[in-house]
Amino acid sequence: MTYCDEVHAVGMYGPRGGGIAEREAAMTRIDVIEGTLAKAFGCLGGYIAASTMVIDAVRSYASGFIFTTALPPAICAAATAAIRHLKASNWERERHQDRVAQTKSALSAAGLPVMPTETHIIPLLVGCADKCKAASDRLLAKHGIYIQPINFPTVPRGTERLRITPTPYHKDMHIDDLVRALIEVWEELGLERGTSDRSRTKAPRARSLRLLHARETLEPRRNRTSSATPTKAVVAEKRASGSG
Ligand SMILES: Cc1ncc(COP(=O)(O)O)c(C=O)c1O
């Protein structure tokens, strides 16, 4: 059975916002697709889509489903409206990708350490938990920009990062402000600069960023667990650095 967690993709990928499986025309090959109403659809709650039999089994046996309060009607109405809208409108998806590309390129041009990623979540490497929290705090206190620090156990120690998620409604002006603020924070905290381009010219660093990239593509799944098995790439990285 194939279970695909598409919470970071529903609404955002695929011609009707069905997610990556829809974009890849692979929906019929997936048995269960998990989606959230809380990210692209801007509400709360979530769902799984599967055959009648699977759904019936979950309804009958999943205690987490049976012993929980149903979503309020207002949330259901808002989620329905959002889903209907994003099934028909491509503007948000196209604009989202455009804003992500613009943000990545502005950050890289400023020499900020953007970690390579194919997704719309842009990681900026800090590499130290305390500094990552300090950078997030300073961004909010001094610049009015809230970006969460992503530390262990969500990511391996030494790869702490800020994770930037542009939306379709971020204008060039907002991206420019963000870059200016980040440069100030990077300078104030003495954080390491270096674009992914520069890192490609340095063998050890390039290698580590490539391995981090492998991790990053798998990482959203890890948000919820602290005991996830490390990927082969990360294990290889740890062995190479002698840390495990
Ligand atoms: C991969 C993944 N699945 C599921 C969830 C849970 O989504 P929700 O917060 O809507 O319950 C998250 C939350 O970020 C996630 O990253």
Q: How far apart are CA 221 and CA 110, in angstroms?
A: 30
- Cβ atoms 31, 2 nearer than 8 A: yes
Give the residue carrying structure tokens 């890289």. Answer: 108
Q: pLDDT by residue (tens digit) across 80-119?
A: 999 999 999 999 999 999 999 999 999 999 999 999 999 9
CA of 105 to the centre of ligand 1 (A): 27
pTM of the shown model:
0.78
Nearest residue (by CA) to ligand 1, atom 4, is 7
Contacts 24+ apart (CB under 8 A), 140-143: 142/181, 142/184, 142/185, 143/177, 143/181, 143/184, 143/185
Ligand 1 atom nearest to 45, measured from its CA: 10
- For the stretch 201-219, pLDDT in tens is 333 343 344 444 444 444 4
Q: Which of 48-52, 201-205, 221-225 has the highest mean pLDDT?
A: 48-52
